[in-house]
Amino acid sequence: MTDKHDRPETTVTAAGRMSGAHFGAVNTPVYRASTILFPDLASMKPGGQPYSYGRRGTPTSKSLEDAIRELEGGAEVVLVPSGLNACTTAILSMVASGDHLLVTDSVYGPTRLFCDTTLKRLGVETSYFAPDAEIGPLLRPNTRAVFRESPGSLTFEIQDIPAIAKAAHVHGASVLMDNTWATPLLFDAHGHGVDLSIQAGTKYLGGHADVNIGYVSANQSHAARLRETHGNMGLAASGDDCFLALRGLRTLAVRLKRHQETALALTQWLRGRPEVVRILYPALPGDPGHALWKRDFKGACGLFGFELVPVPEAAVAAFVEGMHHFGIGYSWGGFESLILPSHIQRTAAPFRAKGPLIRIHAGLEDPGDLIADLDRGFARLKDAT
Ligand SMILES: *Cc1c(COP(=O)(O)O)cnc(C)c1O
């Protein structure tokens, strides 16, 4: 359906469409299926018929997988029921008892919890490293994989993925990356040396705060292990969720552009506020990760953080509560703006901040309305300080 010269804006509209199928319907419909019937026993043999059992795929899941494969330039894509499951499936497909795993200290919190509990019980040791650390000296003889997330969750440090991939590969370790912030449209993970690219499709792929889904995409040398692990663990995403993710994908490029524009408008405005110490957003000139971001990324999304001057907890609550357009809630990547205080968990190197950290997801509302909302929030903060 797509041409290799197409730009991503075009690819997202065309990828994974099954032209001519389904009576000409533009979108692959939702297939709800567990049992799929065979006309005879011969067609139950490998290669006999394209779909064999709901868990192993339907035309709906295949459309989504095909679309993602085109965007990721990967050899294999597996769909899973959540973003966290994409992280854990990618890790489990790589490690065995006795292995060592290196994980960035700014990793998504639940991924850290998985490593510190379930993975530990399975005999895999995890150690954490500062987002800007050189990983060469940290690699041990039994280091099997390096897990990155760039920019980091909550703190948004950009990491030098090509340099990390080079050091890991020389050592024989695999590189896993949670690429949820940038999506494959804004960071080409496999093109920068990542072996397993992870996406919480819950965020921008779905884009409408109504689906939990995830995927892992593997390059050629990692495809078989990923497919085997995914199959053995019985993982699948539902037909309805695949449909919603595919529908979200069609508008991903235009939404991301708007999310970035609004996040830039908000961060530029916040930068001039006396209540704000610093902004954590690599797209902003002056951010410590800006040069690397410019080198490796094609854009930024709508998620960023900022540090407030030291204020009492009650003042933070007064600021965050009472917003008209920013909801208080987990997750992000939907059309709606969100705001939350961030709680940083570090073990390798402390994250230094004197005041409270706030995370914002800039949604698709009018940027002026959002700025006015924040302005009223700062008035509440001042009253409560
Ligand atoms: C939200 C998120 C996840 C988890 O996605 P769920 O669908 O909520 O499980 C994983 N990684 C990152 C970076 C995320 O922001």
Residue-level length of the chain: 385
Q: Does residue 268 sit in the same domain as residue 176?
A: no
Ligand 1: which atom is nearest the Cα of residue 87? 10
- CA 217 to chain CA mean position, Å: 12
CA 181 / ligand 1 centre spacing (Å): 10
Is the minimum distance from the CB of 202 to ligand 1 under 6 angstroms?
yes
Whole-number average pLDDT of the chain: 96
Is the minimum distance from the CB of 150 to ligand 1 under 6 angstroms?
no
Whether 348 is covered by a domain: the verdict is yes
Q: Does residue 212 sit in the same domain as residue 304?
A: no
Is the minimum distance from the CB of 331 to ligand 1 under 6 angstroms?
yes
Q: Does residue 187 sit in the same domain as residue 306?
A: no
Q: Which residue, 278, 339, 256, 300, is CA-closest to 158?
A: 300
The count of structural domains within the chain is 2
Q: Which protein residue's CA is at the shortest distance from atom 8 of ligand 1?
A: 83
Q: What is the pLDDT of residue 1?
A: 55
Q: Which protein residue's CA is at the shortest distance from atom 6 of ligand 1?
A: 83
- Whether 258 has a pLDDT exceeding 90, the answer reads yes
Considering 249, 275, 305, which residue would you say is the last residue of a domain? Answer: 249
Is the minimum distance from the CB of 88 to ligand 1 under 6 angstroms?
no
Q: What is the pLDDT of residue 93?
A: 98
CB atoms within 10 A of CB 323: 18
Considering 214, 249, 284, which residue would you say is the last residue of a domain? Answer: 249
Considering 249, 265, 288, which residue would you say is the last residue of a domain? Answer: 249
Selecting among 203, 250, 255, 278, the annotated active-site residue is: 203
- Whether 2 has a pLDDT exceeding 70, the answer reads no
Q: Does residue 259 sit in the same domain as residue 243?
A: no
CA 83 / ligand 1 centre spacing (Å): 4
Whether 1 is covered by a domain: the verdict is no
Q: Does residue 272 sit in the same domain as residue 333?
A: yes
Residue 340 phi/psi, 5° resolution? -155, 145
What is the C-alpha to C-alpha distance for residues 118 and 233, in angstroms, rounded to an integer?
A: 15
- Known catalytic residue at 203: yes
State pLDDT tens for residues 149-182: 999 999 999 999 999 999 999 999 999 999 999 9
Q: Does residue 177 sit in the same domain as residue 286?
A: no
State pLDDT tens for residues 189-235: 999 999 999 999 999 999 999 999 999 999 999 999 999 999 999 99
Q: Which protein residue's CA is at the shortest distance from atom 5 of ligand 1?
A: 83
Q: Does residue 268 sit in the same domain as residue 142?
A: no
Exposure letters 163-178 (e unless 16+ CB within 10 A, then b): ebbebbeeeebbbbbb
Conformational region of residue 307, where left means phi above 0, alpha means psi within -120 to 50, and beta covers everything else: beta
State pLDDT tens for residues 93-125: 999 999 999 999 999 999 999 999 999 999 999
- Substitution site in 180, 199, 303, 359 for ligand 1 pocket (most atoms within 8 Å of beta carbon): 180
Q: Does residue 172 sit in the same domain as residue 271?
A: no
- Substitution site in 108, 115, 147 for ligand 1 pocket (most atoms within 8 Å of beta carbon): 108
Q: Which residue, 215, 92, 85, 107, is CA-closest to 144?
A: 92
Whether 380 is covered by a domain: the verdict is yes
State pLDDT tens for residues 23-71: 999 999 999 999 999 999 999 999 899 999 999 999 999 999 999 999 9
Whether 3 is covered by a domain: the verdict is no
Whether 61 is covered by a domain: the verdict is yes
Q: What is the pLDDT of residue 292?
A: 97
Please indicate, yes or no, whether the overall pTM of this predicted structure exceeds 0.85: yes
- Whether 303 has a pLDDT exceeding 60, the answer reads yes
Largest alpha-carbon pair distance within the chain? 76
- Whether 5 has a pLDDT exceeding 80, the answer reads no
Q: What is the pLDDT of residue 77?
A: 98
Give the CATH number of the domain where residue 14 resides.
Answer: 3.40.640.10
Q: What is the pLDDT of residue 3?
A: 72
Whether 122 is covered by a domain: the verdict is yes
Q: Does residue 241 sit in the same domain as residue 291?
A: no
User: Domain range holding 321?
Assistant: 252-384
Selecting among 32, 53, 55, 375, the annotated active-site residue is: 55
Confidence of residue 8 (pLDDT cuts 50, 70, 90): confident
Q: Does residue 158 sit in the same domain as residue 188?
A: yes
Q: Which residue, 55, 52, 111, 58, is CA-closest to 80?
A: 55
- Known catalytic residue at 108: yes
Give the CATH number of the domain where residue 266 resides.
Answer: 3.90.1150.10
